[in-house]
Chain A
């Protein structure tokens, strides 16, 4: 059985947020749901500031607090390490969201069809945009997201399925089960993200962990995350975001 992990090279990340966009397109997440989010940090006082960037997917923790607290077992840990959310089981209590120290959970507050960047139902909008999209016709719905995955056959892929359920980064389970890396990893222009099997001593992730010093976020919380950061340092008490995002839905 594979033991998947993600590695994020903070020395390479420039905060371009291509991974955020790729994740959105691949997983059809509604507005304000940033399964992959990239922090843009600043430390120090101007002009002596240091600016750095930190992508933050779901950590897919081995000791995940979200899995422990889910009252109905919608959030569960797969043997390959992915922490998945069964959107057929989820009752929308948001306990996983309050339990997560990393803030990676996103709730579908609105009806998803009212919360997309493009109106999925609007043929007119699609017709207007068609000349600009070189043949690819929006609205684009990834057909892989409605299928069941894993030997457990549960529907765990993609976002924006129905209102009132929680969703989060799935490590693109619908791609991983086909042997493809997650969308963020595949689309990073600087190869700052890596994904692979820790049980394979020759995989990229195993090699990188052996060669370079690394850390994980909030290790003191005991969550045992599966996302490792190379280079850089964890955010400290003086680390602040450059822009205060306040995503509004």
Chain B
């Protein structure tokens, strides 16, 4: 479950990053509707692609956080180690 979620996050990040990078390149494939968004007003580019790219890269690294943070399905709560606590 944890692995799945982390993989999904990483994959989503990769998809975001790769797609936004590919769309930002100056290739105009005729017939692809998404380029209609690239209006004359934004100078022939789809706006906010770099933000999506950055988001994609961040998601890929967030997958590590997801993997580490999500609890195990079976986890016995251990006692906390002797650290710096109260000392009378």
Contact = CB atoms under 8 A, between A and B. Distances in A.
A and B touch in the complex (CB under 8 A): yes
Interface of A: 73, 76, 86, 89, 151-154
Interface of B: 40-41, 43-45
A237 B13 CA distance: 54
Contacts, number: 12
Given A73-B43, A73-B45, A152-B43, 9 more contacts: A76-B43, A86-B43, A89-B43, A151-B40, A152-B40, A152-B44, A153-B40, A153-B41, A154-B43
B41 to A, nearest CB: 7
Interface of B is mostly: loop
Contacts of B40: 151-153
Contacts of A154: 43
12 contacts: A73-B43, A73-B45, A76-B43, A86-B43, A89-B43, A151-B40, A152-B40, A152-B43, A152-B44, A153-B40, A153-B41, A154-B43
A19 B43 CA distance: 31
Nearest to B40: A152
Contacts of B41: 153
Nearest to A151: B40
A151 B44 CA distance: 11
Contacts of A76: 43
A89 B42 CA distance: 9
B24 to A, nearest CB: 10
A152 to B, nearest CB: 5
B80 to A, nearest CB: 50
Contacts of B43: 73, 76, 86, 89, 152, 154
Nearest to A73: B43
A204 to B, nearest CB: 32
A76 B45 CA distance: 12
A3 to B, nearest CB: 20
